[in-house]
Amino acid sequence: MVRSHVLICGGTGCTSSGSVAIQEAFKTNIEAFGLSEEVKVVETGCFGLCALGPVVIVYPDGTFYSRVTADDVKEIVEEHLLKGRKVERLIYSDTGEEVADVTAVALSDTAFYKSQNRVVLRNCGVINPESIDEYIAMDGYEALGRVLTEMTPEDVIKIVSDSGLRGRGGGGFPTGFKWSLCAPNKADQKYVVCNADEGDPGAFMDRSVLEGDPHCLVEAMAIAGYAIGATEGYVYVRAEYPIAVKRLQKAIDDAREYGLLGKNIFGSGFDFNLHIRLGAGAFVCGEETALMTSIEGNRGEPRPRPPYPAVKGLFGKPTVENNVETFANIPQIILRGADWFASMGTEKSKGTKVFALGGNINNTGLVEIPMGTTLRHIIYDIGGGIPGGKAFKAAQTGGPSGGCIPASLIDTEVDYDNLTAIGCMMGSGGLIVMDEDTCMVDMAKFFLEFTVDESCGKCTPCRVGTKRLLELLDDITKGKGTLEDIDRLEWLCNYIKQNSLCGLGQTAPNPVLATLKFFREEYVAHVVDKKCPAGVCKDLLTFTIDKEKCIGCGLCARNCPVNAIVKTDYIAPGHKLASYAIDADKCIKCGVCMGNCRPKAIEKI
């Protein structure tokens, strides 16, 4: 029995920051100090506070070390694990400063975690995701056992329906109802499919669950298979998630070895097998019919509906498809009951929602909060506010398929219906925060560039329409647009929404429509004043040097890549050297000069 556990984040974020080297350093130093029998090193999934990685937590005291490097490990082992003295300089503080009171550093005590309710992420950062025994110790597979030995398929569907769980992939379709549509359909084979493709820029919720708690997906898909009468399941995950794929495959192999997948699970007569299919990273394959087409070995293109997948899905057989986060709720709903789940959230949006919080925010990372939490609370209390004290401008929800919530609506309670009412959508859970320096026209253009690249090209409204939208936006950001172009944008957006074949095309105009609704004055400024109010669109910027502030040091001129900065004859009062000026005809507006100007004499207008 060991006295201490050292938990080290092994998610993609911390791994890319050197957590593997940190693990090896801990093992080496623990052995060197003779602590191998007393201290155990555990690689976990994501803790959530990605901005502070690599993260190390020492139990049983729960000391939370952030931004640890391999060079710090010897000090932690010698001081903390051997002598019992915590390394205060590495302890996380909500203020971002070193703390003197080392008793207030437990993960659960931080502002980032206090308001969270971790249901989907309950095991992430807590267990070794590659250990089936640790998952079982956390009540793992108990829900599957209960379902197969005590419940009928109808019982399972009823408890999921009564819980109010809605699909977390973006559409918010009631999960129990979806299962009930598939269950009665007779076929020689049915399928359960998990969408783990997660293509939204900035979204990493599903990846973190796969990396941190893969067995919960295995268990949930087996439960879904029993409920609808399916004996085969497929997890469609993008190949860009190597850690997630590796851990999920090990979970499937271990579950099969333990008799929790395969034939006659729990002696119930129920058979279920699970397979992984790798996607090539096509955003359109997040649409369920395109995903199934890809699993079948064909190019990922959506199919017209009806027939719906519940009737004719994968390989032409009745199929239920949900995303990772939706499935991750299922075991806890079975164990704790429908009323427990329904007690969280709002009247029509039950439970919790996981968000990938990114952009202009201090606490970048994963958060899981009850539905109905206000955007203000997410940004300022959990997210720690905007860096540099800048003003909040908007938050983009739903990625390329979503819309923006402006500062005037920051007290909006985040759930499916409230976001829909203001012209946004939940999406899979990406939440990108933007500050006062963001150009909303440029932001809409960014997402349109993404959807143009990701359109499968099957239908003309999406293939051609999004391209025309992007061309109009490009003209506007270059100062070539007109007021008529703004009207044309709006008309084209609505046409694409109404006539596209699948959800990609139907939602592609959302970022444009939302920014037109809430930030129309920025579009007008671009086309009438030929100015970008946020100072982002390069073609509408002019860099100038304030000759009264310029001290004549010449750093800007020496670093200018196109020699667009020249010395003048003017010497400002109080200065000894002549000032410099920018030749607007040569300037490529790269901004290098601003970064090198010590007296901040250069500005963009």
- Coil, helix or strand for 263? strand
CATH number for 207: 3.40.50.11540
Regarding whether 294 and 269 lie in a shared domain, the answer is: yes
Regarding whether 470 and 388 lie in a shared domain, the answer is: no
Regarding whether 203 and 61 lie in a shared domain, the answer is: no
| Confidence tier at 97 by pLDDT (50, 70, 90) | very low
Regarding whether 585 and 447 lie in a shared domain, the answer is: no
Regarding whether 478 and 423 lie in a shared domain, the answer is: no
- Residue at 337 is within a domain: yes
Residues 217 and 198: their CA atoms lie apart, in Å, by 15
Read off the pLDDT of each residue in 191-212 and give the average, rounded to a whole number. Answer: 91
Mean pLDDT lowest for which of 63-77, 97-111, 451-465, 573-587? 97-111
- Residue at 480 is within a domain: yes
**Position of tokens 């971002």?**
96
Regarding whether 477 and 430 lie in a shared domain, the answer is: no
Peptide bond into 306 cis (omega under 30): yes
Regarding whether 94 and 240 lie in a shared domain, the answer is: no
pLDDT of residue 40: 95
- Residue at 143 is within a domain: yes
- Is 99 a residue whose pLDDT tops 90? no
> Which tokens go with 119?
């249901």
pLDDT of residue 503: 86
Regarding whether 238 and 151 lie in a shared domain, the answer is: yes
Q: What is the pLDDT of residues 278-314, one digit of tens each?
A: 998 888 998 999 999 999 999 999 998 899 999 999 9
Q: What is the pLDDT of residues 350-400, one digit of tens each?
A: 999 999 999 999 999 999 999 999 999 999 999 999 999 999 999 999 888
% of the chain beyond a pLDDT of 90: 82
Q: What is the pLDDT of residues 128-163, one digit of tens each?
A: 999 999 999 999 999 999 999 999 999 999 999 999
Looking at 402, 435, 468, the residue that finishes a domain is 435
- Is 101 a residue whose pLDDT tops 70? no
pLDDT of residue 199: 80
- Residue at 116 is within a domain: no
Regarding whether 255 and 169 lie in a shared domain, the answer is: yes
Q: What is the pLDDT of residues 516-545, one digit of tens each?
A: 999 999 999 999 999 999 989 988 989 999
- Residue at 122 is within a domain: no
CATH number for 429: 3.10.20.600
Regarding whether 300 and 220 lie in a shared domain, the answer is: yes
**Strand 403-406 relative to strand 565-567, pairing:** unpaired
Looking at 529, 564, 591, the residue that finishes a domain is 529
- Residue at 127 is within a domain: no
Regarding whether 452 and 412 lie in a shared domain, the answer is: no
| Confidence tier at 100 by pLDDT (50, 70, 90) | very low
Mean pLDDT of the chain: 93
How large is the C-alpha radius of gyration of the chain?
Answer: 27
Nearest to 504 by CA among 419, 575, 400: 400
Q: 179 φ, ψ to 5°?
A: -65, -40
Nearest to 210 by CA among 182, 172, 261, 251: 251
Looking at 504, 529, 554, the residue that finishes a domain is 529
- Residue at 364 is within a domain: yes
Q: What is the pLDDT of residues 552-571, one digit of tens each?
A: 999 999 999 999 999 999 99
pTM value is 0.91
pLDDT of residue 94: 64
Measure CA 95 to chain center.
Answer: 25
Range of the structural domain that residue 189 is part of: 132-341
- Residue at 118 is within a domain: no
Regarding whether 370 and 330 lie in a shared domain, the answer is: no
> Taking the alpha carbons of 248, 252, 257, 260 in that order, is the dihedral positive or negative?
positive
Nearest to 537 by CA among 445, 472, 406: 445
Domain count, the chain: 5
- Is 188 a residue whose pLDDT tops 80? yes
CATH number for 550: 3.30.70.20
- Is 225 a residue whose pLDDT tops 90? yes
- Establish how many alpha carbons lie within 13 A of residue 174's alpha carbon, considering only the half-sphere containing its beta carbon: 14
